[in-house]
Structure 1
Amino acid sequence: MKGKSDDTMDQKIEKIRICLIYHFFPHYRAAVIEELAKAWDNVRFVASDDAEPLGYGIRPLIPDGDFNAVAIRRVFGAKYCLKGLGRLIPWGRGGHAIFLGDMNCVSTWVYGFLLRVTGTKVYFWAHGWLRENESFTKKQLRRMYFKIPHRVFVYGRRARRIAVENGFEPGRVHVIYNSLQYSLQRQLRENASRLECRTELRQLFEFGDRDGKVLLCSARMTPVKKFDQVIHAVSKLSQDFAIGVVFVGDGPEKSQLELLSKELGVPCRFLGACYSEPELSRYFIGCDAVISPGNVGLTAMHAMAYGTPVVSHSDRDTQMPEAEVVIPGVTGELFEKDSVSSLADAIRRVVSRSEEEVNFQARACISIIETFYNASHQVKKIMEAISNVDEDESIRDDISIDELNGLKA
């Protein structure tokens, strides 16, 4: 049931013109784009329909409704611009422009400033602040950039806290979290048998009568993911109990990882790239934990949507905002960055829990997604920011278990 404040917010949204501008819309943004289109009848989507100029191996999404394609043009180095943007964005009072807050996009610097001068409300949707320790030059450049919009939408609480510590007013920085296709993921999870999924994965290994543990690594196999650390950690653990690793993904590191697993005698199965959510769901549901020794982003949300804990490193300056979903002992474990022994200890803790602890862990993982990390909540937070609803005044990094809906320890 809507309250009075919700009705007022809806009335405000109906009267304004909104334009969402991205370099391109990644396919995993489908759910939030759909929610935005439902929330605002007058929203315009502007982006390129081709990700190749930026070298991304990501399939672009073409939104339904008022979608306008623009061309990406390289300027120099990593810098680029969006050609033809000026004729598509709302100029003057009553207009709202939401830009992907990528500092490499020259168009955002230029049009963000010009739109603000002409009276359009400007918002940047960005990672914002990931590192506390930046050089003076980078810190000042970032400060200049994020002073352009009226408000900044960030994915995590830590980013907001760093922004405030760097002189930004708390009300200018809104945490909107992040989202994937949770409605589909929830449906797949509810229709699946966890026992069947576990059995399917364990049949990939020769565990015999032992209750083997299966870890999942799901990401493109690149050096930054540091999947070799998983193999080294499991080689230590395999002396104590049966354990194997399933890799879902492809990439330049695959052959080296295959060779390393053979050298160390670690049972690994390399299943290649997979883009089918029904198939991926069975891997996430059937494994004991998802391991991401490099930075962890959307993978953490993906795993927890299926009730599966995540293990990643604890160095927040080199993490992605979504690492905030990993609550040690509740939704996963953290380990000392680049320490194989610390990673092995974290894996041991997460796979050695009792059945009661595993069930609570699964509920906690699902609850954190249903409370914060879903498209409906993300759009609600965006609408509140645009409608001048003040952000929560508290400044904190972590999500506490007390905030999770429907969860009792």
Structure 2
Amino acid sequence: MTSRLPRTCRPMSSRHSIRRKTRTERTRPCTTGYDAAMIRVGLVQALIPHYREPVFKELASREGIDLTMYADLGARHGSLHGARSGSGFTVIDAKERYIGPLLVDPATIRAARGGHDVLVMSWRTRSLLMPTAIRMARRRGAAVVVWGHGYSKYDTPRRTRMRMRVARDADAYLTYDPVTAERLVEGGLDSNRVFCAPNAIDQGPIENQRRWWLDRPDELVRFQQEHRIDPEKTLVFISRIEPDKRLDILIEAMKHARAADPSMTLVVIGDGSAREQSEDLARRLGVEDGVRFVGPIYEEKRLAAWCLSSFCFAYPVAIGLSAMHAFGYGLPVVTSDDIGGHNPEIHAIRPGHNGLFYKDGRVEDLAAKLLQLSRDRDMQHRMSQEALGTVTGPDGWTLTNMVDGFERCIRAVARMRGKD
């Protein structure tokens, strides 16, 4: 069994035909100087991170979609670096800035004036210009979609009201996951206006490197021998090492786990402001031999070797797209049961199937879950298969299904406005 998406989030191929640019499509009479069969889509983003490029490229390849992106080219937000150009779609450089906690994003106004049939905006409650841009775009005949998490990790009734107030004039709401979409409907939104595009990454590079190593088992064994690791006792953490990642919880859990099984080993891949503090904690707890800091690794082939030499991916709090990366290697995910404190990808994890939840903040319980999985080879194998199926199966969190969600939403609102 794999994590299945609700009917409204499943592949378009099961309910609609996916239209790509190899098909001919009936055109309407056109007197405005553009192909009336095309839906002119404007999509506003703060930046275009590398993992989003395949999504937008695939969306632009769909039949009848003419995509223009508005983003701050080359921008950097935290550890994210934005692309400087796009492939397969038009990109317009649009800067943004903050005044205290409030966002000034003139790209929304520029996009509203761009003559698009459908305008997709990031659902950002701190935007000063977004409500004006939505009304402006609709007056000009565009359908408007707001795309985002649809919730905050630190939600309050006031924050929820602000979020809905900012987007109240939108034609549709596009979420990152099906659970949030269902909650928006339960909260009173029209189900015909709520869509989801399950947040996914391009699994192609991961699958290529996974297959490279699995086709060369002797090479993988040599890697494991070189690094003195037992894949049935090794877990991996891959992330920036920052205070909010709470690597300290995982290191403390390793003290308890190694007390029961000294062969347990944690491999930490990444760098950041909390690395030195984390290494010091491992020394103070006496687990420095069982917690290896290997630094940042950006080459997928090297990452693949470590992932294929581990029995699970452990991420103490606030997991996001890292879960999709882990699942691509068939790694079950162990993380906290504080669902509201995670990103939308938490809803892809099914405890007992492709991962395990520990009681939030309880290092002893985290250690127990890691030991449980390390000792049960049948569970490891079963969960590994389900983890892989979560991001490769027809009803899974795949790039195709994500773009299907976008396309379904775009075509629906275009029909509302008589554009399709």
Normalising by structure 1, report the TM-score. Answer: 0.85
Q: Establish whether residue 220 from structure 1 lines up as the match of residue 240 from structure 2.
A: yes
Q: Following TM superposition, by how much is the alpha carbon of 1:109 offset from its aligned partner in structure 2, in angstroms? A: 2.8
How has the CA–CA distance of structure 1 residues 229 and 85 changed in structure 2, closer, same or farther, with 3 Å as cutoff? closer
**Mapped contact 2:336–2:357 kept (Cα < 8 A):** yes
Q: What is the aligned counterpart of 1:77 among 90, 96, 100?
A: 100
Q: What is the aligned counterpart of 1:95 among 107, 117, 129?
A: 117
Aligned residue identity for 1:159 = T
How has the CA–CA distance of structure 1 residues 21 and 84 changed in structure 2, closer, same or farther, with 3 Å as cutoff? closer
How has the CA–CA distance of structure 1 residues 288 and 157 changed in structure 2, closer, same or farther, with 3 Å as cutoff? same
Aligned residue identity for 2:123 = G
**C-alpha distance in 2, partners of 1:237/1:197?**
26
Higher mean C-alpha deviation, range 77-86 or range 14-23? 77-86
**Mapped contact 1:130–1:321 kept (Cα < 8 A):** no
Q: Following TM superposition, by how much is the alpha carbon of 1:166 offset from its aligned partner in structure 2, in angstroms? A: 2.2
Residue 407 (structure 1) aligns with: none
**Mapped contact 1:24–1:48 kept (Cα < 8 A):** yes
How has the CA–CA distance of structure 1 residues 197 and 178 changed in structure 2, closer, same or farther, with 3 Å as cutoff? farther
Residue 270 (structure 1) aligns with: 293
Residue 399 (structure 1) aligns with: none
Higher mean C-alpha deviation, range 362-371 or range 104-113? 104-113
Q: Unpaired segments of 5 or more residues in structure 2?
A: 1-11, 27-35, 414-420
Higher relative contact order (CA 8 A, sep 6+): 2
How has the CA–CA distance of structure 1 residues 314 and 14 changed in structure 2, closer, same or farther, with 3 Å as cutoff? farther
**C-alpha distance in 2, partners of 1:161/1:82?**
29
RMSD: 2.7
| Corresponding residue pairs, total | 381
Q: What is the aligned counterpart of 2:137 among 108, 111, 115?
A: 115
SS of the residue corresponding to residue 139 of structure 1 reads helix
**Mapped contact 1:91–1:119 kept (Cα < 8 A):** no
Q: Following TM superposition, by how much is the alpha carbon of 1:275 offset from its aligned partner in structure 2, in angstroms? A: 2.0
Q: Establish whether residue 259 from structure 1 lines up as the match of residue 280 from structure 2.
A: yes
Q: Following TM superposition, by how much is the alpha carbon of 1:7 offset from its aligned partner in structure 2, in angstroms? A: 6.5
Q: Following TM superposition, by how much is the alpha carbon of 1:137 offset from its aligned partner in structure 2, in angstroms? A: 1.9
Residue 353 (structure 2) aligns with: 330
Residue 397 (structure 2) aligns with: 373
**Mapped contact 1:22–1:99 kept (Cα < 8 A):** yes
How has the CA–CA distance of structure 1 residues 337 and 14 changed in structure 2, closer, same or farther, with 3 Å as cutoff? farther
How has the CA–CA distance of structure 1 residues 271 and 317 changed in structure 2, closer, same or farther, with 3 Å as cutoff? same
Residue 36 (structure 1) aligns with: 59
**C-alpha distance in 2, partners of 1:169/1:201?**
54
How many percent of aligned residue pairs carry the same amino acid?
Answer: 22
Paired residues for 1:1-20 under 5 Å: 5-6=16-17, 11=25, 14-20=37-43
Q: Following TM superposition, by how much is the alpha carbon of 1:129 offset from its aligned partner in structure 2, in angstroms? A: 2.0
Q: Following TM superposition, by how much is the alpha carbon of 1:102 offset from its aligned partner in structure 2, in angstroms? A: 2.0
Q: Following TM superposition, by how much is the alpha carbon of 1:183 offset from its aligned partner in structure 2, in angstroms? A: 1.7
Q: Unpaired segments of 5 or more residues in structure 1?
A: 390-409
Q: Following TM superposition, by how much is the alpha carbon of 1:107 offset from its aligned partner in structure 2, in angstroms? A: 3.5
Q: Following TM superposition, by how much is the alpha carbon of 1:147 offset from its aligned partner in structure 2, in angstroms? A: 2.0
Residue 6 (structure 2) aligns with: none
Q: Following TM superposition, by how much is the alpha carbon of 1:366 offset from its aligned partner in structure 2, in angstroms? A: 1.2
Q: Following TM superposition, by how much is the alpha carbon of 1:203 offset from its aligned partner in structure 2, in angstroms? A: 4.0
1:239-260 deviation digits (Å, cap 9, x = unpaired): 2221111111111110111111
Q: What is the aligned counterpart of 1:360 among 354, 373, 382?
A: 382
Residue 166 (structure 2) aligns with: 145
SS of the residue corresponding to residue 235 of structure 2 reads strand
